[in-house]
Amino acid sequence: MKQILNEWRKFINEAAEVPKDMERLVQHLASGLPEDQRPGFIKSETRKMMFDKEYFQRQYEAYEEELEESMEMVEEEIEKLNEKPAKGKAKQKVTKSGKKVSYGQAGKAKDGGPRVRKGTSKGDAYCKRSLGIKKGLSKKKQNDPNTPNNLSRKRWGCSGGKSSK
């Protein structure tokens, strides 16, 4: 999803680089019309713009405004993808399909240190517990790297029931 939005941003930026040349503006305006209507439209619009500079300016301003609105929509979509993780969760991963997966417990440990401590007895306990959770899932979910359980196991450095640094 993010890649598609970035491609749209690139496309819109390229479209914004069209100079104030009348023929190109008219070609752009005509691109939304059916093939059989384009020649007549191009001819009449070019004449209007050649003889009425104010008309040309209004058309061009409307064109720029349309591009600006499109850019704003793309920016909003990208911002939505970059939002923070769900409440109470430490991390978030956006998958290739654009789905957001939040995982891990937010905040610090009781002693003020980091919550995730790889290679400790606490880490081993977590890995054993989460391995039990993993075994209770379907084979498809067990091997899916984007499940919250598998993302957390990776963060803890789990290999089987042990946590390693």
**pLDDT over 70 for what percent of the chain?**
91
Q: pTM to 2 decimals?
A: 0.50
Q: Output the CA torsion sign for 106, 111, 116, 121.
A: negative
Mean pLDDT along residues 5-14: 71
Residue 13 reports pLDDT greater than 70? no
Identify the weakest region by mean pLDDT among 14-18, 85-89, 97-101: 14-18
Tokens of 109: 């440990």
Q: At what angle do helices 22-30 and 53-81 cross, to 10 degrees?
A: 60
Mean pLDDT along residues 53-66: 82
Mean pLDDT along residues 125-147: 91
pLDDT-derived band at 19 (thresholds 50, 70, 90) equals very low
pLDDT-derived band at 17 (thresholds 50, 70, 90) equals very low
Residue 85 reports pLDDT greater than 60? yes
The overall average pLDDT reported for the chain is 81
Confidence (pLDDT) at 125: 92
Identify the weakest region by mean pLDDT among 24-28, 64-68, 85-89: 24-28
Confidence (pLDDT) at 81: 67
Residue 50 reports pLDDT greater than 80? no
Tokens 């993780």 belong to: 85
Could you give the CA distance from residue 95 to residue 113 in angstroms, rounded to a whole number?
29
List of long-range contacts for 113-120, beta carbons under 8 Å, 24+ apart: 115/90, 116/155, 116/156, 118/156, 118/157, 118/163, 118/164, 118/165, 119/157, 119/163, 119/164, 119/165, 120/163
Nearest Cα neighbor of 160 from 122, 110, 126 is: 126
Residue 111 reports pLDDT greater than 70? yes
Residue 20 reports pLDDT greater than 70? no
